[in-house]
């Protein structure tokens, strides 16, 4: 997950010198930043189904190799074919990254007892923040020292190196692991609500259930906020706040760092509440509503602030509180469909990745038309609030799909 977000985030920094070199306007930049998601959406459901039936280890490993290759090809594509070339490379990279979270959920459904799921999901997903931090901190000095091309070459090679370790150390289920004890396998299976055997996929039922759509809408809105931040926040820091390119990463890293810390803190809180016999659905809704509600309030407030230190502080607080949602909507797929967690996450993330296309591109259009970053922040707060309300009304923790 760290490498996944390093490879998708580095472009948000590299696009600044690239746009200057190739003379791209904001609308073109928005299309390039969003192009990744055309591929990302395509492989979500297939990746989840493959992971549930053939193992998350294989699916995730293939995905990382694929996206790493196209990460390294991003620079040549831009140099020789311009905007069209980089769009093609980013779409192909998205095809590889699309299997990531469905495969992760498939693996975790087999490896985590119910009372450890919020922590497991939060810890794993905090890799999104760590990966963003790594990209934001490493990309600027690489660009300054070697050129923007090397941000793609070096990050792509990291994924290939990771795959070697993954191949030898990981298994999709406890039963296939060579170094786990029978006692630990029994402990996991006794409380995991999952099993390694294959079962019929209730795809039609998933699409027709309100609890599934509650997760989809919540993820859709959360991703709208997250993807716009990933793509545009460095540009906001550079152009609106007046930070020089070499320092952009250090300023932009704050919200990502606080969000990664917050995910793990809230995961412990959620699992602690479960151990105190508070119902699963109550915990999921409390974490989601309190976290997203506070985060949205910060986003609305930013539109009225002109102080740069205060803006950065509010951004960090928004990220910290918003990360609590991973213990709410984020853990919920494992509650309602543990045997189909990969497939369900594929459905959820496929639809919830649409903001990566329309949200990121629309932000470029808003900025070209109005030049107003305040309008961007207000729109993010509104979207986050809608997702919070939908999950609070329709979410369920019952095991709905066998």
Mean pLDDT by 10 residues, the chain (402 residues): 92 89 86 87 90 90 96 94 92 94 89 85 89 88 92 95 93 87 83 55 79 94 87 80 74 83 92 90 94 93 82 90 92 85 86 84 85 88 94 89 66
The pLDDT of residue 365: 85
109 with 194: CB under 8 angstroms?
yes
Q: Rounded to a whole number, what is the distance in angstroms from the first to the last CA of the chain? A: 28
pTM of the entire predicted model: 0.77
Hey, how many other C-beta atoms are within 10 angstroms of the C-beta on 41? 20
The pLDDT of residue 201: 64
Structure tokens at 359: 């949200």
- Cβ neighbours for 396, distance < 8 A, ≥ 6 positions apart: 210, 211, 214, 281, 335, 336
The pLDDT of residue 218: 95
127 with 1: CB under 8 angstroms?
yes
Please choose, from the candidates 359, 381, 373, the residue with its C-alpha nearest in 3D space to the C-alpha of residue 34: 359
Q: Name the one residue in this structure whose structure tokens are 């939908």.
A: 390
């Amino acid at each position: 997950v760290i490498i996944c977000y390093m490879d998708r985030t580095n472009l948000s920094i590299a696009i600044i010198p690239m746009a200057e070199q190739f003379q791209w306007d904001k609308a073109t930049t928005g299309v390039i930043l969003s192009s990744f998601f055309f591929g990302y959406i395509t492989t979500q459901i297939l990746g989840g189904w493959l992971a549930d039936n053939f193992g998350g280890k294989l699916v995730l490993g293939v995905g990382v190799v694929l996206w790493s290759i196209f990460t390294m090809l991003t620079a040549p594509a831009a140099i020789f074919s311009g905007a069209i070339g980089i769009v093609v490379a980013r779409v192909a990279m998205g095809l590889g990254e699309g299997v990531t979270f469905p495969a992760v959920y498939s693996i975790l459904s087999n490896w985590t007892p119910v009372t450890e799921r919020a922590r497991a999901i939060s810890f794993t997903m905090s890799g999104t923040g760590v990966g963003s931090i790594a990209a934001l901190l490493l990309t600027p000095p690489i660009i300054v020292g070697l050129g923007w091309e090397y941000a793609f070459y070096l990050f792509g090679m990291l994924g290939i190196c990771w795959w070697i370790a993954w191949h030898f150390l990981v298994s999709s289920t406890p039963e296939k692991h060579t170094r786990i004890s029978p006692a630990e396998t029994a402990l996991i299976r006794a409380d995991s609500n999952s099993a390694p055997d294959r079962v019929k996929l209730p795809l039609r039922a998933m699409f027709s259930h309100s609890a599934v759509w509650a997760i989809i809408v919540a993820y859709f809105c959360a991703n709208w906020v997250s993807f716009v931040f990933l793509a545009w926040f460095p540009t906001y820091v550079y152009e609106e706040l007046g930070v020089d390119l070499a320092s952009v990463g250090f300023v932009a890293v704050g919200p990502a760092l606080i969000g990664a810390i917050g995910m793990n803190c809230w995961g412990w809180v959620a699992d602690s509440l479960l151990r105190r016999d508070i119902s699963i659905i109550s915990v999921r809704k409390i974490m989601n509503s309190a976290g997203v509600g506070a985060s949205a309030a910060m986003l609305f407030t930013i539109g009225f602030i002109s102080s740069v230190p205060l803006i950065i502080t509010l951004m960090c607080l928004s990220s910290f509180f918003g990360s609590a949602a991973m213990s709410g909507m984020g853990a919920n797929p494992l509650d309602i469909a543990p045997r189909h967690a990969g497939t369900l996450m594929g459905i959820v993330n496929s639809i919830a990745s649409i903001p990566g296309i329309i949200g990121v591109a629309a932000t470029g259009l808003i900025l070209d038309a109005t030049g107003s970053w305040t309008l961007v922040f207000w729109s993010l707060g509104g979207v986050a609030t809608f997702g919070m309300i939908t999950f609070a009304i329709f979410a369920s923790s019952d095991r709905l799909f066998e």
